[in-house]
Amino acid sequence: MAEATRVAVTGAAAELLARLRRRHGELMFHQSGGCCDGSSPMCYPDGDFLTGDADVHLGDLTVADSADGPGAGGTGTSFTVPVWMSRAQFEYWSHTHLTIDVVPGRGAGFSVEAPEGVRFLIRSRLFTDAEAAALRD
């Protein structure tokens, strides 16, 4: 079995992250679990949102920045995007695998995808027994 992870990213979200990284530099996600904008995963330039003891590092997304044709600007390399969650929210979601996806709609006010006409969202599923055991080890 592959190594168990807490977070993943869809292809569409990865493509958007590659474009956003070329524009904004290194990126990070934070999921606060609050109301309104805080209920969506917020994408920031790395370091613009300060994390601390009240946050849990869920893992890093590995994203390929492939060239999508002439002028696309892809680098052909991969990069990582750390994903954080407030500790209080993690207590509720610790048994779930989270996948970051992107859908049409208004992005969160402070999240870097806001001007793109899309927004990031979390799709979740329960861990399998094997994944849960692997994450405990």
Q: What are the two backbone dihedrals, phi and then psi, of residue 64, each rounded to the nearest 5 degrees?
A: -85, 135
User: Of 115, 63, 116, 126, nearest to 92 (Cα)?
Assistant: 126
User: Of 55, 51, 62, 84, nearest to 8 (Cα)?
Assistant: 62
Whether residue 17 has pLDDT greater than 70 = yes
pLDDT band per the 50, 70, 90 thresholds, residue 36: low
Q: What is the average pLDDT across 35-54?
A: 84
* CB burial of residue 95 (10 Å; 0-12, 13-18, 19+): exposed
Average pLDDT, the chain: 88
Whether residue 96 has pLDDT greater than 60 = yes
Strand-pair category, 55-65 with 118-126: unpaired
Name beta bridge partners: 7: 98
The 10 Å Cβ neighbour count of residue 12 is: 12
pLDDT digits (tens, 9 = 90+) for 115-127: 999 999 999 999 9
Q: Which two tokens stand for residue 33?
A: 């679990």
Report pLDDT for 35.
59
Whether residue 82 has pLDDT greater than 50 = yes
Report pLDDT for 95.
94
